[in-house]
Structure 1
Amino acid sequence: MTMSLRGVFLAVALTLPPCLQAEAVLDCGQVEEVADALNQIADAMDEGAEVGEDSSEDQALREVVDALDLIARAEGNSGLRQAASRLDDAWEEMDRDAFVDALDDAVNILDGISDYECD
C-alpha cells in the first residue's frame, strides 16, 4: 500500500525534529531514517502527489527544505548543503522535477555518509 503524501510528511515530521533539536551531527540511525524519509517524499512526488501552493503539504515541504539545511550545516557536508540549496530553489520555483532531483542527491549523499561512517 502506498503511503499518502500527508502520511509521508507526518513520517518526516516525526523523523526530522528529534534529529535537529540537539543541533549535533546525526548518529548512524538518524542518517538512515532521514534518508528513508526523503526517499518516501521523492517517491510520493514521483507518483504525482498533489501539492497546492500554500497548502499544508507545501508548508511541510518547506519544513523539509529547512530541516535538510540544518542537517547539512550540522554535518558540515558541502555536497549536502548544495543539495539543500537546490531543494530551496526548486521549492521557491515550484519545480517538482528539480525538487525530486535534489531529494535524490541528498539521499545519495546521506547513503554515502552512512556507508563511510556507519558500516
Structure 2
Amino acid sequence: MNTTSNSDLTLTDLSPNNGCGCGSSHPSTATKIPSSPTGQQFAVTGLTCGHYARAVTTELEAIEGVRHVTVQLVAGAVSTVSIDSASLLSRSQVAAALDEAGDYHLTSD
C-alpha cells in the first residue's frame, strides 16, 4: 500500500553541529507559522533528528482536531513542540502520542 502524507513539517535545527544523530542526510528546514488562539507549546526530550521529529509530528497530527504541528528541534536537548488545534489538548493526550511515536517525553513543569 502506498500512502502519501501532506503534512507541513516545520523543523528548526538548533544543534551545535547542525547535524543529527540518526545517520540520515536529510537537511532540516524552518518555516515560520503564525500562532493561533488555540496554539500550545510543549517541551519534549528525546528528539535528536528530523526523522524523530517527523514521527512525533505524525502521531500528534493523528489526534482529532489537530491542524498543525511545528517542532523546534534541539538535538539531544529539550525541543519545543507547538500544536495548533481546534481545542486545547491535555498533557496526557500529548504524552500518549509521544509514547506511540517512540521514546519521547514531556518535561515536567
TM-score (norm 1): 0.28
Structure richer in strand, relative to its length:
2
Structure richer in helix, relative to its length:
1
TM-score (norm 2): 0.30
